[in-house]
Structure 1
Amino acid sequence: MTTDTAVTPAGPGAPAPAPSGLRSMSRLAVVVLLIGTAVGLTFLGFFVGSGDYTVTDAWRALFGDGDPTTLEVIRNNRVPRTLLAVLVGVALGAAGAIMQGLTRNPLADPGILGVNSGAYFAMVVAAVAWDVSSTGGYMAASMVGAFLAATLVYFVGSRGISGASPEKLVLTGVAAGSIFSGIGFGLTMIDPKSFDAIRSWQVGTLDGRDWSQVSVVWIPIVVGALAAMILIPYLNGLALGDDRARALGVPVGRVRLGGFVVVTVLCGAATAALGPITFVGLMVPHVVRILFGPDNRWLLPVCVVVGPIVMVGSDLLARVLTSSELPVGMVTAFIGAPVLIALVRRQRGGEQ
């Protein structure tokens, strides 16, 4: 994309980026609109879903009034499910922006680090080897797998004279992800019990999620999102290339390692909560970049707002498209695939 290279990013000691995208006042107006949309969709998620419940029933249940069945569905199903979609949207939106900034690759996706595949592999191993079947056990295993996979990718990808270059990290992540996925799928094929236990997790779904998942993942996601904000000026510096960033005083190695850890925490928590959700980390930064330009001072914070819009909106579609609710991972893939094709075509057009 031409906008990714036309701007001089700001890092420590670097000049401020040239204006691109919307004007400042227009940007502020769009940010307010996006925040309002995110809040509105979140509240809508409390009222929309399967079951013959009116808006009045849902409203009363939110405040502790109504029959026990309605209270159970609204307060212990729809509310935590919607809040979990918000948290995962925050995680994937921020992780996507960081990943594209670290690799200087506008088509990079957080899954490129092998985090999702590592989480999946660890959960399968826990189910097969230790007969883990509880939600807490699955989430603990997937977080451990995410960290181990990310550590392995960074360790292998940072070997050699050039260190942890974007190209080496991408190639190492793809290779490691393929290995983890292949072994994980193989284990499920020889152990049907483990396949039955995790098949709903494999497709990425919010169905059946409750407060236990929210209580586990909200802390790492909030901490990871706050840590992502610290990286903003350094990501702008990295956009100039490693040599120029170093000349401007950017500690490239430490920034890349820090960004790598933040992405791992965010993606690991999101994957542990819902399973592998595709395309959100890819398309959210691109949509934001079209409106706000490549400056991470706008890009990264707005991705934290747009991510929940995409996730909650996809979940609402999953609830109403069919009588039996679709996994949200299917909806994001259905939306994201055409977006990816359009982005690739646009990038090729910009290179001509």
Structure 2
Amino acid sequence: MSAPTMPVATARAEQPEPPKVRPDLRTATRRPRRRRRLVLVGLALALVAAFAVRVLLGDYTFTIPDFFRILFGEQIPVSTFILMETKLPRAVLAVLVGLAFGAAGSLFQMLLRNPLASPDIVGVSLGASAAGIFALLTLGLRDGAVSLFAVIGAVLISGVVRWVAGTTGGYRLVLVGVGVAAAMVSVVQYLLARSNTWDVQLALRWLVGSLNNVPWSTIGLLAVALLVLLPTLAVMARSLEALELGADAAAGLGTGRHRTDALLLVGVLLTAVGVAAAGPVAFVAFMAGPIARALMGGRHSLLAGALVGAVLMLLADHTAAYLVPDVVLPVGIVTGAVGGPFLLWLLARGAATGRTG
């Protein structure tokens, strides 16, 4: 007698169904992308608004039609000079320098996995400053030659910091950078102490970081440099996610130390060209990364950091121009006044939460 057979329909009904993707999981994966797009669009709009405020408002205001008429070549007495020789160059330079510093600061913090690892802190900006001051005070150079020395100084100092720090990077590189920065401060102070009063005033104005009286030729050179460096960074940044996991994990994924050094070199050059154009504007590179990361919900973004840097520069320059009546302050005074407390807050927050980087 044969055993009873189970109907085919019943056997199929008793087989477990394949797991289905939960709708909430699919939504959770889309959420960061949506937030990223919204933040980037918001930052772009904030940049446009800050640029408009810097150019159109102030002691001498412009209407939007007048702005475009002057921009396309119409000559309006007084208005054309104020816009084309004062307001517009400062606003354009603020955007370019802010993009350079913001991208560089975010890049340093991503690569070294440390919110303190900005060009301001690890000595790159001060290396450029020391070289520029040496060219200005000792060699008697001006304008483009000083800018070239600043770029060379930033590259040399970053090479020294990287060599002394060795292959470990991270906190060791930050500590070495802080030590080298202290040495560069001593060099700058020595050069200032042995110079005459007039040259010292020129040097101090450049050291603080200022957008005053920067010619269109310098702005054009900075724009050309950024047209090369920023796309290069965008292409190379595809490996940043692997590098953020650490040196060993990055090496296992096929991304070695040479890629880290190449990215750091791009960050150094971005810092150097920004310092060469406007001086070492304090704390913009340092503040842009953490602010962008907070807006992105804890995720790093070079583009967000660059946009935040540009917005910070525009707002700081507008404040510097109109904070004190009849006095145009260097923009570095405003960023330094804001960046110092921001650094203390970041340190206190890290100590309170038990995080070190």
TM-score normalised over the length of structure 1: 0.84
Count of residue correspondences? 325
Deviations 1:270-309 (A, max 9, x none): 111111112211221111111214444xx11211222111
SS in 2 for 1:205: coil
TM-score by length of 2: 0.83
Counterpart-to-counterpart distance in 2, 1:126 and 1:157: 28
Q: Deviations over 1:234-282 (max 9, x none)?
A: 222222222222222221x112211220111111011111111122112
User: 1:105 is paired with a residue of what secondary structure?
Assistant: coil
Which of these residues, 289, 313, 329, is aligned with residue 311 of structure 1? 313
Alignment partners' CA distance in 2, 1:70 and 1:319: 18
Distance across 2 between alignment mates of 1:277 and 1:344: 21
Give yes or no for contact 2:288–2:306 (8 Å, CA) kept in 1. Answer: no
What SS is found at the alignment partner of 2:121?
helix
- For 1:320, the equivalent position in structure 2 comes to 322
Q: Is the 8 A contact 2:161 2:176 kept in 1?
A: yes
Instruction: Identify unmatched segments of 5+ residues in structure 2.
Output: 1-27
Which of the numbers 337, 345, 349 marks the counterpart of 1:342? 345
**1:169 CA displacement:** 2.0
Structure 1 residue 97, shift from structure 2 partner: 1.0
Give the corresponding residue for 2:160. 152
Shift of 1:335: 2.0
Question: Structure 1 stretch 330-339 or stretch 53-62: which is displaced more?
Answer: 53-62
1:261 corresponding residue in structure 2? 265
CA-CA distance at 1:231 after TM superposition: 3.6
Q: 1:291 aligns with which of 288, 295, 302?
A: 295
Q: Distance in 2 between matches of 1:292 and 1:92?
A: 19
Q: CA deviation at 1:57?
A: 5.7
Aligned to 1:278: 282
Partner SS, residue 120 of structure 2: helix
2:139 to 130, 140, 153: 130
| Structure possessing the higher relative contact order (Cα contacts under 8 Å, 6 or more residues apart) | 1
Residue 233 of structure 2 aligns to a residue whose secondary structure is helix
CA distance in 2, matches of 1:149, 1:202: 17
Q: Deviations over 1:75-106 (max 9, x none)?
A: 12211211110011111111111111121112
Tell me which residue corresponds to 1:188: 192
Residues 102 and 238 in structure 1, CA contact (< 8 A), matched pair in contact too: yes
For residues 68-107 of structure 1, the aligned pairs below 5 Å read: 68-107=77-116
**Any conservation in 2 of the 1:21–1:290 contact (CA below 8 Å)?**
no
What is the CA–CA distance in structure 1 between the aligned matches of 2:227 and 2:124, rounded to whole Å? 18
Residue of structure 1 in register with 2:149 after alignment = 141
Q: Deviations over 1:51-86 (max 9, x none)?
A: x45437655433333445432221122112111100
Aligned equivalents of 2:227, 2:298: Cα separation in 1:
24
The answer (yes or no) to whether the contact 1:49–1:78 under 8 Å persists in 2 is no
Please give the alpha-carbon distance, in whole angstroms, between the structure 1 residues aligned to 2:193 and 2:263: 35
User: Structure 1 pair 336/112, CA: closer, same or farther in 2 (3 Å)?
Assistant: closer
The one-letter code matched in structure 2 to 1:123 is G
Secondary structure at the residue paired with 2:282?
coil
Name structure 1 gaps, 5 residues minimum: 1-18
The structure number with the bigger radius of gyration is: 2
Q: Secondary structure in 1 aligned to 2:343?
A: helix
Q: Deviations over 1:202-236 (max 9, x none)?
A: 11111222312202212222322222223434222
The SS at the match of 1:112 is coil
**CA-atom RMSD in angstroms:** 2.3
The amino acid across from 1:261 in the alignment is L
Is contact 2:208–2:282 with CA below 8 Å preserved after alignment? Answer: no
Alignment-mate amino acid for residue 177 of structure 1: A
CA contact (8 A) 1:277 1:332 kept: yes
**C-alpha distance 311-21 of structure 1, shift in aligned 2 (>3 A):** farther
1:176 is aligned to 2:180? yes
